Chains A and B, each alone.
Chain A
Amino acid sequence: MPGLFKNKVFWLCILVLIITFTLIRATSSEREDITLVERMLREVYAPLQSSVTEMRDYFSGPRSIFSQKADLNEKISEQEEEIAKLNLENQVLREYEAEVKRLRVLFNFSSNNLDKYSLSAARVIARSPDNWLETIIIDKGSVDGIKKDMPVITPKGLVGRIGSVSEHASQVNLITDREIAVGATLQRSRNTSGIVEGMVEGSLLKMINIPYYASVKPNDMVITSGLSEVFPPGIDIGAIYEVTEEPNGLLLSATVIPTVDFNKLEEVLVITDYTPVTEAESVPEEPMAEEE
């Protein structure tokens, strides 16, 4: 044993361990920017990963068309029926939209709808190579105007936010990751708020911090509340599956089935111009009382 302390290799191992533990600590929380080595590594991988996605699209496209022709025909007729229904619904909604816009102008309200944001479409080129972190890599980076913390969505709902950016690729932290917390509310009763986070089991989400008196029922739609500084309000997150009472009896929690299928993500949209509404901006100033 005393010989061990005189061994140079032993002390080298201890030194490497200390440095590594410090490094793990330093990178355990969100960082403002990634290091040059990480950026270079991602830049090397990105074109290779992109080419795999292209090859998959190239080969799977025609093959699936030929092999599933009957299936596709059936789907097309179903879609045509759906389109007819949606067209009708669209007409009604357009009327409502015009009415809402007129009323907004009348009452000086600002719009929260997603159509006011600029969206940048990106392709998913890779997934996390390990089983513990829930991330994806997209083929847009800083040269395309992508910045850290930009929200990422699909037409079906919220995907996550940009975690780190290199020149031609970006890492997206999915909302199923335990590190991400999203301010959420129920679409039915907007005053029921909570926080949605990833669950350790499967790709489900958990809504926590719901007040015990809140009316939460299965199938209720959960949307972003806009209270966090990253995600705009009104984006679909998922549907309530099961509601449970927390042991303290003061709060409820609910399992949420996400609207987005994270295993089948191929394309996403990055919201590039969302600026959170600060408290000072959202609360209109009270008019000065006129002096008598």
Chain B
Amino acid sequence: MRYLMHFLLPFLAVFLQSTVFGFYSIKGTLPDMVLVFVVFFSVINGAAKGTVYGFLCGLLEDLYLGRFIGINAISKALTGFLVGKLQGGFFRENFFIGALAVAIGTLLNALILLLLSRLAFASFHIDKQFFTAVFYQFIYNVILAAPLYGWYYRSSRAGLLRLSREN
């Protein structure tokens, strides 16, 4: 049931991003809810689990999009890993940690996407508009993360999202 809930969150995120958030975009930019959940998961469950979760969530998004399948899987896996590693020095229960981690995660994810597009995939166009989109996505993700993290943290400790006893 708990694993199902963790799968349903990115599934719901893709659904909301493709429908509801389309009507509430900031300057045509959508938030990355899948990334928000990957970051939350990594903050609470650590780098190793965060990497696997990031990879699976990114893959779901890639399969839905149908092009460059794997690009989001790699970027979100690496973001999950890095956020999990960075989290070590902070208190997970702190309300602001969620928003801060999402802010860092959004920038890391953008940087990884930029590197991947430059490294290997000439037809994956990322240019001037990319930085504008990242700026608005950064704001949007942080706005969403602030209220969501409290619920996510509580559910991970004692609710539907709790993976194991030590959490």
A residues neighboring B (CB under 8 Å): 16-17, 20-21, 23-29, 34, 37-38, 41-42, 45, 48-49, 52-53, 56, 125-133, 135, 137, 163-164, 171, 178-179, 200-203, 263
Residues of A within 8 A of B28 (CB): 202-203, 263
Residue contact A38 to B30, C-beta cutoff 8 Å: no
Residue contact B22 to A127, C-beta cutoff 8 Å: yes
Residues of A within 8 A of B60 (CB): 41
Residues of B within 8 A of A45 (CB): 14-15, 18, 64
Closest A residue by C-beta to B16: A129
A-B contact pairs, 21 of them (CB 8 A): A21-B74, A21-B120, A24-B121, A25-B120, A25-B121, A27-B67, A27-B70, A28-B68, A28-B123, A41-B60, A45-B14, A125-B19, A126-B18, A129-B13, A129-B18, A130-B17, A130-B32, A132-B113, A133-B67, A137-B18, A164-B66
Choice from B18, B130, B137 contacting A128 with Cβ under 8 Å: B18
Cα distance A284–B154 in the bound complex, in angstroms = 75
Residues of B within 8 A of A16 (CB): 55
Cα distance A231–B74 in the bound complex, in angstroms = 36
Choice from B13, B63, B74 contacting A20 with Cβ under 8 Å: B74
Residues of A within 8 A of B71 (CB): 24
Cα distance A45–B63 in the bound complex, in angstroms = 12
B residues neighboring A (CB under 8 Å): 13-15, 17-23, 28-30, 32, 55, 60-61, 63-74, 113, 116, 120-121, 123-130, 133, 137
Choice from B22, B120, B129 contacting A202 with Cβ under 8 Å: B129
Cα distance A200–B64 in the bound complex, in angstroms = 23
Residue contact A201 to B129, C-beta cutoff 8 Å: yes
Nearest 5 A-B pairs (CB), nearest first?
A: A129-B17, A126-B18, A20-B70, A200-B127, A24-B70
Residue contact A29 to B65, C-beta cutoff 8 Å: no
Distance (Å) between the CB of A238 and the closest chain B CB? Answer: 18
Closest A residue by C-beta to B27: A202
Residues of A within 8 A of B20 (CB): 52
Residue contact B128 to A200, C-beta cutoff 8 Å: yes
Residues of A within 8 A of B32 (CB): 130
Distance (Å) between the CB of B141 and the closest chain A CB? Answer: 12
Residues of B within 8 A of A202 (CB): 28, 129
Distance (Å) between the CB of A44 and the closest chain B CB? Answer: 9
Known A24-B120, A200-B127; judge A131-B67 contact (CB<8 A): no
Cα distance A8–B73 in the bound complex, in angstroms = 21
Q: 14 additional contacts, CB 8 Å, given A28-B123, A263-B28?
A: A20-B70, A24-B116, A24-B121, A26-B69, A28-B124, A29-B123, A45-B18, A126-B18, A129-B61, A130-B72, A131-B133, A131-B137, A132-B125, A178-B125
Closest A residue by C-beta to B60: A41
Residue contact B124 to A49, C-beta cutoff 8 Å: no
Choice from B19, B68, B74, B116 contacting A49 with Cβ under 8 Å: B19
Most-contacted residue by chain B among A28, A135, A263 (CB, 10 A): A28
Residues of B within 8 A of A41 (CB): 60, 63-64
Residue contact B73 to A49, C-beta cutoff 8 Å: no
Distance (Å) between the CB of B65 and the closest chain A CB? Answer: 6
Residue contact A131 to B64, C-beta cutoff 8 Å: no
